[in-house]
Amino acid sequence: MKNPIVNPRDGSIIEPSNTWLYLKVVKAKGTPEEKVLWRPYKLEDHTHLETLKLGLLGDERSRLTTVWQNTYIRFGWLDKELNSLDWVSLEYLIYTYHNKMITKTNRAKLNHICRLLFISIKDIKA
């Protein structure tokens, strides 16, 4: 892991990366030591990426997995203050896409994610 960044707003730990696709991992959930770790997807995560691909193509079983439910897209820069940092769930992005409420920026990110997974944005199913 590169030098992790601690978010001063919520104490979460972010592993820096040039990708926008992140997995939200909650350590010690429900305890006082609970921590959120934002981990970027890597090529070694091919089974997770395959699950995301199948979920985008409409597979309901893939959409029920924790991988699908804990995948987020990073918006903003990983600067020292993290003022512009925001996380949007993949589920929400798909929802806005299908309901024609998606912004240009969000559509560009979704299109980029589809290219990473070797699918067309037009193939996404509700």
* pLDDT single digits (tens) 20-67: 899 999 987 777 778 899 999 998 999 999 999 999 999 999 999 999
pLDDT above 90: percentage of residues in the chain: 63
pTM of the predicted model as reported, rounded to 2 decimal places: 0.87
Neighbours of 48 (CB within 10 A): 19
Q: Binning pLDDT at 50, 70 and 90, where does residue 81 land?
A: low
What is the C-alpha separation between 10 and 6, in angstroms, rounded? 8
Map out the domains of the chain as residue ranges.
Answer: 5-120
CA angle 119/120/122 to nearest 5° reads 135
* CA 80 remoteness from chain centre: 21
Q: Strand 35-40 to strand 21-27: parallel, antiparallel, or no bridges (unpaired)?
A: antiparallel
Decide: 60 and 111 in contact? Cβ < 8 Å: no
